[in-house]
Amino acid sequence: MCALNRRSLLGLAAIAAAGQTPGVPEPIRRLRPMTDGIVPISKAERMGRMEKARRLMRENKIDAIFLEGASSMFYFTGTRWGASERTFGLVFPAKGELAWVVPAFEEARAREVIGFGTDIRVWEEDESPYKKIAGILKDRGVTSGRVGIEERVRFFVFDGIRKEAPGLEYVSADPVTAGCRMYKSPAEIALMQHANDVTIAAYRAALATLKEGMTETDLRNNMTSAYRALGFNGAALVSFGKYTAFPHGSITPQKLREGDVVQIDDGVSVEGYQADITRTVVYGKHTARQKQIWDLERKAQDAAFAAAKTGATCESVDAAARKVITDAGFGPDYKVPGLPHRTGHGIGLDGHEWTNLVRGNKTKLAAGMCFSDEPMITIYGEFGIRLEDCFYMTADGARFFSKQSPAIDQPFG
């Protein structure tokens, strides 16, 4: 090994000892993990959720619900399982013990992750998992009546169940699953608050790395590095210039130039609970037009938040934000230039979940509900401005998880 290489390696070792990573921008190197103080959802809380689900089943005359390994299964049991062609599922009866259906060769691993219920029924590769599910329903006394199918259950699984248990009526499980998950507990709110705090810290660091000529991929990679430095995995939607008008970004390669609008959107999850934040700024000096639209967007976001009163309908929040934008001459309705989508979506274990701030949704806001507030203004060929902060409902009204952007050149409150 030559002396130069030895010196280079010694230099890298010194950088590592100082807590730095070569090639990582200084604002990101200064970050420190934010993993302390996280309190997972307790077993007692999950048991309480299951009791509420059983009550909702009785009220909606549903005798059992069936779930695959998505967010609702995790919500009730703490168990996650990736989707494949091999059925792994949960029969959750209104009366009686939970029962699991598991591929036989995965039984050992399944027993490691299943925390509730000891009735685990395995099926071999040459057997039908749907017969196992039908057998569970029969054993729980569900030989007639209604079975709720959770919204993420794939059609081929549902189709297999109804063929093996044709005497049952199959309905949506939404009154049970959404009826529980829409209303967050203090423990869930705390986890979402932590996710928002981490996301803001990453955004602060990443936006400090903006420089002429960088690509949207460069900024996206800086976001990923920031999340890792904070102790989490995460990504971001990034767009520059005219491509900020695309609500979810563009596949067109972009390079940052002086005067470009910059938009970043996304968030991390903490114990499965999501954050979703958008910040829109201008690299360098902004124009009067950019400021005008940015200020209008902030006014629309404020109007939505002000309308988010306990007992108000979801559609009234959307209407309040949309009125600000249409009164300024944009739209109307979902036409662009203007606001092409709903004002906000529900958020929790999924980035987008029940229920939405959208026209026609007469669901009333109640304590524990969580939403995004993001009435974007899209002007194709020019730019788009979106400010997104999520809020949660209390008995006294709405509370933001993150501080709003005060001005076009001040992305953080």
| Structure confidence by residue, pLDDT tens digits, 35-73 | 999 999 999 999 999 999 999 999 999 999 999 999 999
Task: Flag whether pLDDT at 132 surpasses 70.
Answer: yes
| Whether 250 contacts 343, CB under 8 Å | no
Task: Flag whether pLDDT at 23 surpasses 70.
Answer: yes
> Looking at residue 21, what is its pLDDT?
53
> Looking at residue 5, what is its pLDDT?
39
> Looking at residue 318, what is its pLDDT?
98
- In the chain, pLDDT over 70 holds for what percent of residues? 95
> Looking at residue 335, what is its pLDDT?
98
How far apart CA 62 and CA 93 sit, in angstroms, is 9
The pLDDT confidence band at residue 326, using thresholds 50, 70 and 90, is very high
- In the chain, pLDDT over 90 holds for what percent of residues? 94
What is the architecture, at CATH level 2, of domain 43-181? 3-Layer(aba) Sandwich (3.40)
φ and ψ at residue 398, rounded to 5 degrees? -85, 150
Task: Flag whether pLDDT at 13 surpasses 90.
Answer: no
| Whether 241 contacts 219, CB under 8 Å | no
Q: At what angle do helices 314-327 and 288-307 cross, to 10 degrees?
A: 150
Which residues, other chains included, contact 5 with Cβ-Cβ below 8 Å and sequence gap of 6+?
A: none
> Looking at residue 208, what is its pLDDT?
98
Domains of the chain, residue spans: 43-181, 186-400
Across all residues in the chain, what is the average pLDDT?
Answer: 94
Span 230-251, pLDDT tens digits: 999 998 999 999 999 999 999 9
Task: Flag whether pLDDT at 19 surpasses 60.
Answer: no
> Looking at residue 128, what is its pLDDT?
98
Task: Flag whether pLDDT at 6 surpasses 50.
Answer: no
Q: Which CATH number fits domain 186-400: 3.40.50.300, 2.20.25.10, 3.40.50.2000, 3.90.230.10?
A: 3.90.230.10
How far apart CA 301 and CA 144 sit, in angstroms, is 49
3-class secondary structure for the chain? CCHHHHHHHHHHHHHHHCCCCCCCCHHHHCCCCCCCCCCCCCHHHHHHHHHHHHHHHHHCCCCEEEECCCHHHHHHHCCCCCCCCCCCEEEEECCCCCEEEEEHHHHHHHHHHCCCCCEEEEECCCCCHHHHHHHHHHHCCCCCCEEEECCCCCHHHHHHHHHHCCCCEEEECHHHHHHHHCCCCHHHHHHHHHHHHHHHHHHHHHHCCCCCCCEHHHHHHHHHHHHHHCCCCCCCEEEEHHHHHCCCCCCCCCECCCCCEEEEEECCEECCEECCEEEEEECCCCCHHHHHHHHHHHHHHHHHHHHCCCCCEHHHHHHHHHHHHHHCCCCCCCCCCECCCCCEEECCCCCCEEEEECCCCCCECCCCCEEEECCCEEECCCEEECCEEEEEEECCEEEECCCCCCECCECCC
Q: Model's pTM, two decimal places?
A: 0.93
Task: Flag whether pLDDT at 11 surpasses 50.
Answer: no
* 182-199: average pLDDT: 98
Q: Is 128 left (phi over 0), alpha (psi -120 to 50) or beta?
A: beta
Task: Flag whether pLDDT at 14 surpasses 50.
Answer: no
